[in-house]
Amino acid sequence: MNDQAEALRNLVRQDEGAPLFRAEPAETRPTRILTITSGKGGVGKSNFTLNFALQLQSQGYKVLVFDADIGMANIDVLMGASPKYNLYHLLKREKSIEEIIYRGHNDLQFIAGGSGFNDLLSLTKEELEYFTEQVLSLSGSLDFILFDTGAGLTKESMTFITAAEQTIVVTTPEPTSITDAYAIIKMVHSQEPGIRFQLVVNRVTDRKEGQQTADKIRMVSNQFLQLDIPTLGYIPDDANVSKAVKRQVPFSVLYPDSAATRELKELVRRFEQSQPAAAPTEAEEGGGVKRFLSRMLKFMK
């Protein structure tokens, strides 16, 4: 494993003058990497990730959704797409990253999940180098990479969450979902105190229920972790979400005037305002992509 870590370290080394791969990207954007996670499963992460990504895109950002849910990969199903290639083919050096990026509704770019993530932690040196180079080639061309992770504390999810700079924790008002959300916050915070958390309460009956749910998580996080977790918003329980899932079209595309979509739009506005301004050099330095890759190293030692 040390060999792999060394190879990756060399590739992401900041102080090397020579370009690492191909031509310079046409644009240079400081890419932000986010994970979307939850303690309990089935709380609405994938639907949130997909529709959040679409809204960000409609605000003019370049977004890529990465389905990092190993067990229940389903971003593609939510879009009625059946991509032939996924991360597995990239890891095995069968396809380039461009070849595994698909276009969904409104041309949203996404990488389908697959069995590949299991293999990520046991790659050969050559496979790891290829993976790293390919992911680095995304630097500068995207504003956001969103990882939809599986629920709970799996090793793979933890790798992504702790390597990314920020994570959105999705919960519902149910007590089991709240306690599990707190458990994941506590675990991530203890491993990587620098990760920024933001909360989304999904499937609320009304704003009051959303507020009460957010308050509970905020209070325990404040008290026991000295951590302030801002809330991005509350998405109502809306029958249109399930209807859209059945039609395999993202709810914000199929039902742009639904209560869920309206709240999501507000939420995206708050998210935009919450983003720290990028340092002028961030894009040239590989934005968040380099940082993300070098942080993944910790788990490969």
List, as own/partner pairs, every contact residues 80-85 make where C-beta atoms lie below 8 angstroms and the sequence separation is at least 24, other chains included. Answer: 80/247, 80/248, 80/249, 81/112, 83/112, 85/112
Closest CB 73 distance from Mg ion, rounded Å: 8
Side by side, the strands of the sheet bearing 109-111 are 101-103, 109-111, 63-68, 144-149, 32-37, 166-171, 196-204, 231-236
Judge contact between 214 and 231, C-beta under 8 A. Answer: yes
- Asked if 112 touches ligand ATP (CB under 6 A), the answer is no
| Euclidean distance between CA atoms 288 and 276, whole angstroms | 13
Which residue in 51, 202, 213, 258 binds ligand ATP (CB under 6 A)?
Answer: 202
Part of the chain binding ligand ATP (CB under 6 A), chosen from 14-22, 174-182, 237-245, 266-274: 237-245
Judge contact between 116 and 88, C-beta under 8 A. Answer: yes
Part of the chain binding ligand ATP (CB under 6 A), chosen from 42-50, 60-68, 109-117, 177-185: 42-50
Angle at 102 between CA 63 and CA 11, to 5 degrees: 65
List the single partner that 38 binds among Mg ion, ligand ATP, none, CB under 5 to 8 Å by kind. Answer: ligand ATP
Closest CB 256 distance from ligand ATP, rounded Å: 15
Which residue in 32, 189, 203, 295 binds ligand ATP (CB under 6 A)?
Answer: 203
- Asked if 39 touches ligand ATP (CB under 6 A), the answer is no
- Asked if 237 touches ligand ATP (CB under 6 A), the answer is yes
* Footprint on this chain of ligand ATP (rule: CB under 6 A): 38, 41-47, 69, 72, 151, 202-203, 235, 237-238, 241-242, 245, 260
* Footprint on this chain of Mg ion (rule: CB under 5 A): 45-46
